[in-house]
Amino acid sequence: MSNLDKSLSRRVFAGSSLVALAGLALGRNALAAEIEATPAQTMGPFYPVSRLAEEDADLTQLKGHANRALGEVIEVTGRVLDRRGNPMKGAVIELWQANAAGRYMHAKDTSTQPLDPNFQGFAKLRAGSDGGYRITTVKPAAYASPIGTRPAHIHFDVQGGNIRLVTQMYFPGDDELQRADRIFAGMGTAAPGAIAKLKGGNRYVWDIILDDV
């Protein structure tokens, strides 16, 4: 092989390597962009400053109480993931919500709807090794607020590694109230990422994607 041929071969190899590296980088960026981060939302005025002694994943039953919380009992499951789909093992999840009548267990909630003495209203848990979480609760009602009627939702405060996300999960089939809601509308095209999926009966699935890229 002549010196010229060798020089051309080296150039072709180097060019191919650069193309391959660029392709790998683009592939990584494309993969990272495949999962859209769950949109951040306001914490709202009713984050529980005082709580019941229990904060386990079943919000419908309290120790020593003979009755279960009123309303439609539902299960919400999902995974906490990063933008590449990797599980956020051990992520800390706090969640709180209104009861089935649309009232929060909070001193600033001046609603005339009744409190439910059998409803926990708040939970704190850790995601499993696969990023998974599971809660049993009641479906919250929509309620009147200073910014209009808010659609049914559950508040989440999620911390995985050094990333924190405060957001809200909404329910499918609530389109009219969601369209009219200032907070929901404020998410723009990212809003669908805040709606859980109904997986038959009373089971909802909602993955939480933390924006780590």
150 as an active site residue: the answer is: yes
- For residue 31, give the H/E element and its range: helix 3-33
65 as an active site residue: the answer is: no
Catalytic residue among 106, 153, 170, 204: 153
103 as an active site residue: the answer is: no
> Any residues with CB less than 8 A from the CB of 87 and at least 6 apart, and which?
79, 80, 81, 127, 129, 130, 131, 132
Tell me how many degrees the CA angle 89-90-95 measures, rounded to the nearest 5: 120
Catalytic residue among 104, 133, 170, 204: 104
d(CA 46, CA 95): 11
153 as an active site residue: the answer is: yes
| 3-state DSSP of 34-79 | CCCCCCCCCCCCCCCCCCCCCCCCECCCCCCCCCCCCCCEEEEEEE
143 as an active site residue: the answer is: yes
For tokens 């951040």, name the residue.
40
Q: With CA atoms as reference, report the closest residue to 29 among 70, 67, 84.
A: 84
Catalytic residue among 79, 103, 106, 150: 150
Catalytic residue among 143, 164, 179, 204: 143
- Give the tokens for residue 47: 């984050």
Helix, strand, or coil here: 32? Answer: helix
Point out the residues that are catalytic: 104, 143, 150, 153, 155
